[in-house]
Structure 1
Amino acid sequence: MLVKTFQAEQMSEALRMVKAEMGLDAMILSSKKERRKGILGFFSKPYFEVTAALEPRPVAPRPNPYQEEQPPPRELSTREEFQNSMLGPLAREVRELKQRVEALTRKDAASAAPPADKGQRGEAGGEAEAPRTFAKEELEEIKKLLYSAVGAKDNGLPKALSFPMADAAEPVVSGAIETFAKPLHATAATAAPAASAAADERTQMVLELLAAELRAAELSPAAIDLLVDHIRPAAEAGATAHQLRGMLVQTLSGMVKCAGSVRMKKNGTKIMAVVGPTGVGKTTTIAKLAALHALNRGLSVALVTTDNFRVGAVEQLKTYAKIMDLPLEVVSTVPEMQEALAAHADKDLILIDTAGRSPKDSERIEELKGFVECHPGIETYLCVSATTRPRELDEIVAMFGSLPIARLLFTKLDESESYGCIVDTHLKHKLPLSYFTTGQKVPEDIELATARRLATLVVKEVAR
């Protein structure tokens, strides 16, 4: 068995190296994230190390270019093999037996004395010739039956021959056919388990390869087991890795629920607040949503911000509001928030930008709760980064869970190496997905979250 270790800066790149050099039959033995040594522990870059194994296949001998090609030998049918191995020799033995019997018959006829009279000859001849004539007829019948069996046109296995009144010949022929049939049945009985074992091994290797790719996407073990169990019947039926990846995309798409675009009110104002930890890109996301609805959809939009803590946060949003010619309200208390909402009650959409809060600061989160609950029509979106580790994502959702969170909004997909955390967070906390952001450009780098898009990111990205 050939075992080799591959190193790359990205897990997806390491898997591509495995498939490029060892093919789809390679089996992933281990995968881990390491860090190269740097100066006093600094300036060290992480890398991924994947160990794969491949069972070598026997190499076919190279043909001699100077040797004349010989036509391949004609494969014999089962009937021809049976004829050559069993019925042919039996027919020759029967011919030899017939010749010996005929010779003995002629010898007996020549040495027999003429009968005394016609009556006695008829009486004696009737009793003496009957057995000899009957044996000769039986031998002729055996010959015909054997020759017809040898020259039969049937493509299947010959049935055991039965010869009436020939007790000596029947066991020989039947035994010969049984002797020929036993190796066939034995070979079939041996080949069936061997073929089944090979198919099971191939199925297991393909499933392990796909499971390794899903682990590289940082999907949880529970989700991986669920997906692999779903495609296992198709893998056992002989589906290729490409077909199984398509099934994974389809299955994962059915597991993910997305909220769709922001639904405007017919006779009222839609109010949307974006909350989340620090540094996830809430202000830029607010600007993208404002441009998406004001410039692209032609709706009247107003901006409100409570972010008086971060240096330059208000100035950044003011710049966006000035470019898009949108009103901006800066509030610091709950009554000011209520006044700003009342002042823009004629707008189609009000977007509220909030200050980032640490998930460990429960006091600040309770303060934020007063802002998002000051009006019954506020719909709260939790904004988190796709680069956040799964354990930290669970902590963020749990701490911000004291707020009336309605949707999840993931940012920085362009900076993430894997997307399984999005699936796990969505499935674990039962919060629909709303938008994905994929860069800093306003308003281009924002898109509506769809189940198909997320499933393609998780499955296809690691399969490139």
Structure 2
Amino acid sequence: MIVKKYVVSDIKEAFEKIRVELGKDAVILSTRKIKKGGFLGIGAKTYIEVTAAVEEKKQQQTEDKGQIYKLQEILSKTKQPQQSPEDITELKKMMLELKSMMVSQRSNEPQWVQDFRKALSKQDIDEEISEKIIEYARVKYQELDFSNENTRLILSEMFLPFLNTSVPEIKGKVMFVGPTGVGKTTTLAKLAAKLKLNDHRRVGIITLDTYRIAAVDQLKTYAMLLDVPIRVAYTPKEAKLEIEALADYDIILIDSAGRSQKNELHMTEIKAMSEIVEPDYVFLVVGMQYRSEDVKEIASKFSIVSPTHVILSKMDETSSLGHFVNVPTFLNVPIAFVTNGQRVPDDIIEANSRELAVLLSREVLKNARSSK
């Protein structure tokens, strides 16, 4: 790691020097006010000492191509225990100055870029991903004409690198995890019906969601209609015994209780259950009605159980499709299925990158046109 200190008059000067010398991947470690010059402290001028660092392999000389610094990330990386209240005040001032610089810079952008950014934001596409898409468009196409229908095809191609889909050949133990209210139980039932009725697989169901009586009853109803066995496990030990009882089945679908990503105890419980179950696949179910920042937190917290795939649920309840690109980026795992209604087994589709790109590009184009 390369660490450098800069003594500057203001934060703007510091950022300019850091960007030129260390590159866009540099982070601020600390800031403090110092006095220099004068005689015996008389007439000394106040400066800001900024300490910045960058991984050596990432050091590079770059031109400013509209890089948008993530203010919250900078703040989190600069909150050091030894910082004084004065340092924190300076950091807040730095954030305000930086935000002002960003607004000023964007006001000088071409109108099509401003419209494009608004359209991506309306689809709740993560800001960092949006900036990469915009930069790609500026370099390759110089300008996008949103009144031209062919632009939809261009947008589809631009979204493809950020889409990651893969439908696994499901077998063995499949555990469904996710926050409360995302429709895990209904999604499991849809997949059970698909595997049983369409793929003619021998399917068994185990529910660990004993916190909600309604969830158990709901699954029992689905299991009866599909003529598949269902077992209820109240403890990790029971879960292991029930899995052994269904060992002859091709696929065992395991429904876990909804867990809040903000509750550390819940996350510990779901991790312990996962270690007992030892699933072959872990499907993280994420509701598309969540905000981008919430999804980022969900992805971070549920990584504790190492999801293998994502199922995006409730597409019919939102007009924002940005999670098609957000979720694979946040989690670095593919989308396997998307659900778009309550009907079992109809409202579940296998994820296909090109099809999702077309859907997303259509909405972005519509938003870009409405910005005019």
Rounded Cα–Cα distance in structure 1 between residues aligned with 2:300 and 2:232: 28
Question: Which of 382, 399, 419 lines up with 2:301 in the alignment?
Answer: 399
Q: Is the 8 A contact 2:137 2:144 kept in 1?
A: no
User: What is aligned with 1:209?
Assistant: 115
Question: Which of 259, 264, 281 lines up with 2:166 in the alignment?
Answer: 259
Structural mapping, 1:216-227, within 5 Å:
216-227=122-133
User: What is aligned with 1:434?
Assistant: 336
Amino acid at match of 1:400: F
Rounded Cα–Cα distance in structure 2 between residues aligned with 1:276 and 1:226: 29
Alignment partner of 1:337 is 2:239? yes
Partner of 1:418, secondary structure, is: coil
Structural mapping, 1:218-367, within 5 Å:
218-233=124-139, 235-236=141-142, 241-264=148-171, 270-367=172-269
Rounded Cα–Cα distance in structure 2 between residues aligned with 1:443 and 1:242: 35
Structure 1: runs of 5 or more not aligned = 1-202, 265-269
Q: Is the 8 A contact 1:389 1:421 kept in 2?
A: no
Rounded Cα–Cα distance in structure 2 between residues aligned with 1:400 and 1:377: 15
Bigger Rg, structure 1 or 2: 1
**1:231 positional shift:** 2.5
**1:234 positional shift:** 5.2
Alignment partner of 1:368 is 2:270? yes
Rounded Cα–Cα distance in structure 2 between residues aligned with 1:287 and 1:238: 43
Partner of 2:259, secondary structure, is: coil
Amino acid at match of 1:435: F
**1:224 positional shift:** 2.0
Q: Is the 8 A contact 1:292 1:443 kept in 2?
A: yes
**1:253 positional shift:** 1.4
Rounded Cα–Cα distance in structure 1 between residues aligned with 2:318 and 2:206: 30
**1:368 positional shift:** 1.9
User: What is aligned with 1:144?
Assistant: none
User: What is aligned with 2:356?
Assistant: 454
Rounded Cα–Cα distance in structure 2 between residues aligned with 1:415 and 1:263: 27
**1:377 positional shift:** 4.2
Q: Is the 8 A contact 1:372 1:378 kept in 2?
A: no
Q: Is the 8 A contact 1:303 1:351 kept in 2?
A: yes
Identical counterparts, % of pairs:
32
User: What is aligned with 1:410?
Assistant: 312
Partner of 2:150, secondary structure, is: helix
The answer to which of 227-236 and 306-315 deviates more is: 227-236
Rounded Cα–Cα distance in structure 1 between residues aligned with 2:364 and 2:224: 42
**1:227 positional shift:** 1.6
Encode CA deviations 1:234-254: one digit per residue, 9 max, x unaligned. 544886743333112112113
Rounded Cα–Cα distance in structure 2 between residues aligned with 1:393 and 1:238: 29
Amino acid at match of 1:456: V
Rounded Cα–Cα distance in structure 2 between residues aligned with 1:284 and 1:238: 41
Rounded Cα–Cα distance in structure 1 between residues aligned with 2:355 and 2:244: 38
So what's the TM-score if we normalise by structure 2? Answer: 0.65
**If each structure's helix is expressed as a fraction of its own residues, which one has the higher value?**
1
Rounded Cα–Cα distance in structure 2 between residues aligned with 1:238 and 1:394: 29
Rounded Cα–Cα distance in structure 2 between residues aligned with 1:359 and 1:318: 27
The answer to which of 377-386 and 206-215 deviates more is: 206-215
Encode CA deviations 1:385-414: one digit per residue, 9 max, x unaligned. 000111111222222221122111110000
Rounded Cα–Cα distance in structure 2 between residues aligned with 1:394 and 1:238: 29
Encode CA deviations 1:314-348: one digit per residue, 9 max, x unaligned. 11000000000000010011121111111111111
Q: Is the 8 A contact 2:240 2:277 kept in 1?
A: yes
**1:222 positional shift:** 2.2
Rounded Cα–Cα distance in structure 1 between residues aligned with 2:160 and 2:326: 13
Encode CA deviations 1:118-177: one digit per residue, 9 max, x unaligned. xxxxxxxxxxxxxxxxxxxxxxxxxxxxxxxxxxxxxxxxxxxxxxxxxxxxxxxxxxxx
**1:228 positional shift:** 2.2
So what's the TM-score if we normalise by structure 1? Answer: 0.52
Structure 2: runs of 5 or more not aligned = 1-108, 367-372
Partner of 1:374, secondary structure, is: helix
Q: Alpha carbons of 1:238 and 1:335: their partners in 2 closer, same or farther (altered >3 Å)?
A: closer
Rounded Cα–Cα distance in structure 2 between residues aligned with 1:287 and 1:463: 35
Q: Alpha carbons of 1:210 and 1:375: their partners in 2 closer, same or farther (altered >3 Å)?
A: same
**1:454 positional shift:** 2.3
Q: Is the 8 A contact 1:219 1:420 kept in 2?
A: yes
Encode CA deviations 1:90-135: one digit per residue, 9 max, x unaligned. xxxxxxxxxxxxxxxxxxxxxxxxxxxxxxxxxxxxxxxxxxxxxx
Rounded Cα–Cα distance in structure 2 between residues aligned with 1:373 and 1:295: 30
How many residue pairs end up in the alignment? 257
Rounded Cα–Cα distance in structure 2 between residues aligned with 1:237 and 1:258: 29
Amino acid at match of 1:210: F
Encode CA deviations 1:253-274: one digit per residue, 9 max, x unaligned. 132111214343xxxxx11000
**1:306 positional shift:** 0.7
Rounded Cα–Cα distance in structure 1 between residues aligned with 2:145 and 2:265: 55
Amino acid at match of 2:233: V
Q: Is the 8 A contact 1:307 1:314 kept in 2?
A: yes
